[in-house]
């Protein structure tokens, strides 16, 4: 070890530059891998509905019917037409869907009537759906029951005075937040103007994501109310597996058949909606992968360039060492150890930089803290990369014949 | 002399093609990545109205009740109808405009084609003169039209083309839902980036296709769109009675041409808040702001965090590329110690060796810059095909193109300084002896 270090002392500047490059690479790569891991975790979350069997559409008519009775009859006509389509198992109207980024309503709900702020949970998303909403969306209840037919009521959370439907299905996260450690079934929830309305929990689901995942509402803080007509007017169809795309194509024609004056604003398969939702995450992951790949390639090429230079520069010395008894293996190991030392120095500096960079990102972009497990990953990647890069030049060095020692360069 | 250095550099670069290609690639990658992101940032932070932005101001007042009041908190960033109208009719600026976004149902004149939605802006009359909106035909409406609730409309060139043909759109009837308007102006292509006058629609929203007088649109109940924040216990407001609601949903801009006017307007806002508090409409102590256009964009953080993060990443990448280049150049120059030693022994000065090595680095820099430019074109092409609002604006203009090449050249020459300085310190005698 000692002779390697004293040899490196003769090339201080070059060594410092390589160490610096490896350190920067290490810092960027470990944070990059961490950000990728974060986004992948979000993308793998279950929506809680039947992703591959749903189709949804939104339409607005011209001169929208103003009374709720005429709205209800129009909605009923639309739903009847949609249910009549071949391969459609069921159809409902909802205000929103998980990850659809539209029609999100947030509200505060309370454990007690007229409760003080301490008794309420805020930024809870309200889903509302018409008869059959649980089965159509494919929501799996882990506890309790589905809504009964008479529980679907004419309710609009924006008109504060009206009483809410008698029952509600909530997510496990909401239950934990409202009544930690208690059985949520049958518990009352107060909502509406001054928390005057009351509804009771009849079911709990483990998975149902919000219309969008954000810091205020988290991923799945929501509840589902049974209604006869949902503002937002999102038609959701559950189809047989094979006919989803055909249903999607025919849907505008069927809706036009009921009322040709309408404007169909949205018409998508639900899996496309989910995929669109994660578009930015995918784009960022690709960008990071390209940057990480390029950085590693660049660093490897830099190491190759330097090692080749050193091998060339030391050909004479290598010859002398070979002539006085060093084996090819000794020479090979010399360059490998040298590389290991340089990379290790880079990694030590790089880990420090990685933590600093992460602190900066945490402050500026609200990223979570970098878990320490990511640091060894980056370290191992760089060690392997260094060894791989030095192998070629080191083999060339090992191939230097002892006779070189007798020649002048 | 330069020709000779150029020749030497060319020979040297040709001698070790792999190392040369490696350096060009490293610089190209770094420049390409950073220029892509810098261009996107440059576009996103651009001044939408360079000639006028310093004279356009967005005021803020605090109309909320005492619930949730914390002193020093930023006031709301939109206006209720009453406040917007009060400020508009006070006429304290050279020009002022109150407006809101909307969505209208356009029914084409040819009966058979389908109706469609178009984004609209309901605004008072000064909008067009304040924001220097270019007209292809006709013009905007007057304050008088506003007060009389005249049924007139200004439409975009795109919409005019689609409905009537842009050349004879003026004077035509435009059917929006149940109502009929007379087209009095056609706006030429006008797409301020960001969509500064109403950031609630999305910072990089497209310019609206239909402009209607504010009073007319409200009287006819054309649908509004955009953000709305309410306070108090009134519940969600009735869309047909927005004028009295305790909600902010309007934007207000004022043109102030002199510093004295700006100062006077600041005082006016405080005075207005005090007056409204005396009348009992406001409850909080006066809490007002007056941002100029660029200040308003800054206050609203129009550049998304993800773009900043990507720019940071690109710069970090560029830094690694530069360190890499310094190391490779050092290796390359030191490897030629003997050659340089011979030149020194033959009488070349340190300066001329230094100049020769920098010439060589400049060649690499220019080649790297060109490679970077190609990569940046590719990178921006990818950005343009992303489904993000700012995508269409990600273009490399001439200034950025020049900046790319200059940056590549400067970065490389800077990176070459240290290696060249090290290399020309060689002792000719020592190098020659080893030979």
DSSP string of A332-365, one letter each residue: HHHHHHHHHHHHHHHHHHHHHHHHHHHHHHHHHH
What pLDDT is attached to residue A273? 92
Distance from CA of A320 to the nearest CA of B (A): 16
Q: How confident is the model at residue B30 (pLDDT cuts 50, 70, 90)?
A: confident
pLDDT on residue B96: 95
- Please give the structure tokens belonging to residue A264: 């169909």
| A256 and A284 assigned to the same domain | no
Chain B residues lying within 8 Å of A280, measured CB to CB: 306, 388
Q: In angstroms, rounded to a whole number, what is the distance separating the alpha carbons of residues A362 and B96?
A: 41
Q: Is residue A54 part of a domain?
A: no
Asked whether residue A95 is domain-assigned, the answer is yes
* Residue B295 shares a structural domain with residue B374: no
Mean pLDDT: which of A130-139, A287-296, B317-326 is highest? Answer: A130-139
Same-domain check for residues A235 and A362 = no
The long-range contacts involving A282-285, CB below 8 angstroms and separated by at least 24 positions, are A282/A43, A283/B386, A284/A35, A284/A39, A284/B306, A284/B310, A285/A36, A285/A39, A285/A40
**pLDDT for residue A20 is more than 50:** yes
Mean pLDDT of chain B: 87
pLDDT at B77 over 70: yes
Q: Who has greater pLDDT, A150 or B230? A: A150
Same domain, B96 and B220: yes
Domain end residue (candidates: B269, B299, B329): B299
For residues B157 and B236, membership in a common domain is answered with: yes
B117:A298 CB<8 A: no
Mean pLDDT confidence for B53-81 = 88
| B140 and B183 share one domain | yes
Q: Is residue A302 part of a domain?
A: yes
Residues A200 and A288 in one domain: no
pLDDT tops 80 at residue A192: no
Question: Do residues A74 and A130 both lie within one domain?
Answer: yes
pLDDT band at B385 (very low <50, low <70, confident <90, very high): confident
Residue A113 confidence (pLDDT) above 80? no
- Based on the domain organization, do A101 and A204 belong to the same domain? yes
Judgement on whether residues B118 and B233 belong to the same structural domain of the protein: yes
Domain endpoint, select from A213, A229, A260? A260
pLDDT of residue A62: 44
Could you count the other beta carbons within 10 Å of the beta carbon of residue A406? 9
pLDDT for B235 equals: 56
Q: Which domain holds residue A353?
A: 2-43+279-406
Domain termination site, one of B251, B266, B299:
B299
**Could you read off the pLDDT of A43-58 as tens digits, one per residue?**
888 899 999 999 999 8
The number of C-alpha atoms within 13 Å of B120 and in the hemisphere containing its C-beta is 25
Indicate if B332 and B219 belong to the same structural domain: no
Band the pLDDT of A214: cuts 50, 70, 90.
confident
For β-strands A234-239 and A88-94, DSSP reports them as antiparallel
For residues B294 and B314, state if they share a domain: no
Averaged pLDDT for residues B259-277: 94
The residues with which A239 forms a beta bridge, in sequence order, are: A88
pLDDT for A118 equals 57
Residue B128: the pLDDT is 95
- Residue A308 in any domain: the answer is yes
Q: Which of A260, A292, A327 is the last residue of a domain?
A: A260
What is the per-residue pLDDT for A313? 82
Q: Is residue A334 part of a domain?
A: yes
Listing DSSP states for A13-75 in one string gives HHHHHHHHHHHHHHHHHHHHHHHHHHHHHHHT---SS-GGGEEEEEEE-TT---SHHHHHHHH
Give the residue from B284, B299, B314 where a domain finishes. Answer: B299
- Number of structural domains in chain B: 2
The arithmetic mean of pLDDT across residues B329-356, rounded, is 85
pLDDT-above-70 percentage for chain A: 93
Are residues B317 and A160, on separate chains, in Cβ contact within 8 Å? no
Specify the pLDDT at position A207.
92
Report if residue A48 sits inside a domain. Answer: no
A197 and A298 part of one domain = no
Q: Is A272 domain-assigned?
A: no
Contact B313 A28 (CB under 8 A): yes
Question: What residues make up the domain containing B314?
Answer: 2-45+303-434
Between chains, do B115 and A21 touch, taking CB under 8 Å as contact? no
- Give residue A63's pLDDT: 44
- pLDDT, mean of residues B37-50: 84
Query: How far away is chain A from the Cα of B327, in angstroms, using its nearest Cα?
Result: 6
Same domain as A294, residue A231: no
The B-side interface with A (CB below 8 A) comprises 19, 22, 26, 29, 33, 105, 107, 114-117, 177-178, 233, 235-236, 305-306, 308-310, 313, 316-317, 319-321, 323-324, 326-328, 330-331, 334-335, 386-388, 418, 422, 434-435
Query: What is the ipTM, given to two decimal places?
Result: 0.72
| Top-confidence residue, A33 or A216 | A33
> pLDDT tens, B207-227?
999 999 999 999 888 888 877
- Spatial CA neighbour of A393 closest among A303, A319, A267, A308: A308
Is residue A218 located within the same domain as residue A246?
yes
Total domains in chain A come to: 2
Least confident of A230-239, B235-244, B379-388: B235-244
pLDDT digits (tens, 9 = 90+) for B100-117: 999 898 988 876 677 888
In chain B, the percentage of residues whose pLDDT exceeds 90 is: 35
pLDDT at B99: 95
State whether B256 and B170 are in the same domain.
yes
Could you tell me if B85 and B215 lie in one domain? Answer: yes
What is the average per-residue pLDDT within A197-217? 88
Domain assignment present for A267: no
Do A180 and A311 have their domain in common?
A: no
In this complex, the residue of A21, A261, A263 whose CB is nearest that of residue B320 is: A21
Pair B239, B318 in one domain: no
pLDDT (mean) for A241-270? 87
Please tell me whether residues B313 and B295 are part of one structural domain: no
Residues A229 and A326 in one domain: no
- Of A260, A288, A321, the domain-final residue: A260
Q: Are A223 and A287 contained in the same domain?
A: no
Instruction: Tell me which range, A273-282, B84-93, B157-166, is most confidently predicted by mean pLDDT.
Output: B84-93
Task: Centre a 10 Å sphere on the Cβ of residue B89 and count the other Cβ atoms it contains.
Answer: 12
Same domain, A161 and A251: yes
Arithmetic mean of pLDDT, A11-33: 88
In this prediction, residue A363 carries a pLDDT of 81
Give the pLDDT confidence score for residue A209 in this predicted structure: 93
> Tens digits of per-residue pLDDT, B246-261?
888 999 999 999 999 9
Q: Which of B22, B26, B330 sits opposite A14 (nearest CB)?
A: B330
């Amino acid at each position: 070890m000692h002779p390697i270090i004293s040899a490196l002392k003769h090339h201080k500047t070059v060594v410092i530059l390589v160490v610096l490059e490896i350190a920067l690479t290490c810092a960027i790569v470990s944070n990059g891998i961490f950000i990728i891991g974060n986004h992948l975790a979000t993308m793998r979350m279950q929506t809680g509905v039947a992703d591959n069997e749903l189709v949804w559409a939104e339409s607005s008519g011209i001169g929208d019917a103003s009374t709720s009775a005429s709205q209800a009859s129009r909605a009923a006509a639309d739903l009847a037409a949609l249910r009549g389509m071949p391969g459609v198992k069921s159809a409902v109207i909802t205000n929103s869907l998980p990850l659809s980024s539209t029609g999100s309503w947030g509200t505060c709900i309370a454990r007690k009537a007229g409760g003080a702020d301490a008794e309420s949970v805020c930024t809870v998303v309200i889903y509302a759906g018409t008869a059959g909403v649980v089965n159509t969306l494919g929501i799996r209840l882990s506890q309790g029951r589905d809504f009964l037919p008479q529980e679907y009521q004419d309710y609009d959370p924006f008109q504060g005075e009206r009483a809410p439907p008698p029952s509600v299905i909530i997510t496990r996260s909401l239950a934990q937040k409202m009544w930690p450690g208690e059985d949520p079934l049958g518990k009352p929830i107060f909502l509406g103007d001054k928390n005057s309305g009351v509804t009771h929990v009849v079911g709990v689901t483990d998975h149902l994501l919000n219309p969008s995942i954000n810091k205020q509402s988290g991923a799945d803080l929501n509840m589902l109310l049974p209604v006869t007509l949902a503002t937002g007017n999102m038609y959701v169809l559950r189809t047989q597996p094979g006919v989803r795309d055909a249903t999607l194509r025919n849907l505008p024609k069927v809706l036009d058949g009921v009322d040709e004056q309408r404007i169909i604003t949205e018409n998508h398969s639900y899996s496309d909606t989910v995929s669109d939702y994660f578009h930015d995450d995918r784009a960022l992951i690709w960008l990071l992968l390209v940057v990480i790949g390029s950085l590693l390639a660049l660093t490897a090429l830099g190491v190759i360039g330097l090692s080749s230079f050193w091998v060339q520069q030391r050909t004479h010395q290598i010859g002398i060492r070979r002539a006085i008894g060093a084996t090819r293996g000794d020479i090979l190991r010399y360059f490998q150890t040298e590389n290991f030392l340089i990379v290790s120095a880079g990694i030590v500096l790089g880990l420090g930089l990685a933590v600093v960079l992460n602190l900066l990102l945490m402050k500026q972009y609200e990223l979570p803290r970098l878990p320490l497990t990511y640091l060894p990953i980056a370290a191992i990647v760089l060690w392997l990369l260094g060894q791989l890069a030095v192998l070629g030049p080191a083999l060339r060095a090992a191939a230097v014949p002892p006779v070189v020692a007798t020649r002048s360069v | 002399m330069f020709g000779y250095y150029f020749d030497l550099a060319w020979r040297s670069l040709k001698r070790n093609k792999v190392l040369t290609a490696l350096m060009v690639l490293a610089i190209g990658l770094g420049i390409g990545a950073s220029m892509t992101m810098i261009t996107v940032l440059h576009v996103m932070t651009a001044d939408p109205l360079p000639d006028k932005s310093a004279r356009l101001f967005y005021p803020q007042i605090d109309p909320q009740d005492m619930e949730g009041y914390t002193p020093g908190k930023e006031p709301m960033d939109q206006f209720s109808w009453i406040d917007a109208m009060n400020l508009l009719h006070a006429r304290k600026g050279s020009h002022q405009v109150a407006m809101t976004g909307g969505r209208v149902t356009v029914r084409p004149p040819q009966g058979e084609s389908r109706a469609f939605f178009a984004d609209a802006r309901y605004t008072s009359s000064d909008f067009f003169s304040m924001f220097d909106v270019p007209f292809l035909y006709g013009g905007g409406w007057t304050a008088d039209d506003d007060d009389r609730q005249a049924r007139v409309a200004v439409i975009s060139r795109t919409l005019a083309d689609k409905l009537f043909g842009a050349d004879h759109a003026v004077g035509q009837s435009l059917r929006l839902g149940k109502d009929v308007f007379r087209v009095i102006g056609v706006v030429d292509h006008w797409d301020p980036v960001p969509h500064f006058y109403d950031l609630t629609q999305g910072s990089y929203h497209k310019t609206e296709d239909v402009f209607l007088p504010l009073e007319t649109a409200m009287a006819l109940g054309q649908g509004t769109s955009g953000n709305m924040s309410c306070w108090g216990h009134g519940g969600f407001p009735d869309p047909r009675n927005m004028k009295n609601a305790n909600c902010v949903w309007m934007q207000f801009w004022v043109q102030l041409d002199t510093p004295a006017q700006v100062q006077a307007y600041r005082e006016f806002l405080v005075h207005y808040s005090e007056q409204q508090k005396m009348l009992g409409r406001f409850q909080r102590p006066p809490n007002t702001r007056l941002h100029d256009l660029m200040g308003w964009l800054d206050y609203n953080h129009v550049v998304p965090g993800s773009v900043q993060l990507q720019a940071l990443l690109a710069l970090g990448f560029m830094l690694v590329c530069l360190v890499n280049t310094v190391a490779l150049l050092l290796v390359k120059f030191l490897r030629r110690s003997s050659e340089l030693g011979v030149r020194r022994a033959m009488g070349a000065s340190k300066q001329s060796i230094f100049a020769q090595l920098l010439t060589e680095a400049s060649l690499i820099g220019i080649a790297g810059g060109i490679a970077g430019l190609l990569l940046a074109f590719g990178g921006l092409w990818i950005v343009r095909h992303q489904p993000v609002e700012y995508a269409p604006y990600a273009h490399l203009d001439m200034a950025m193109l020049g900046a790319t090449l200059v940056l590549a050249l400067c970065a490389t020459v800077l990176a070459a300084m240290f290696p060249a300085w090290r290399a020309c310190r060689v002792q000719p005698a020592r190098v020659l002896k080893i030979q």
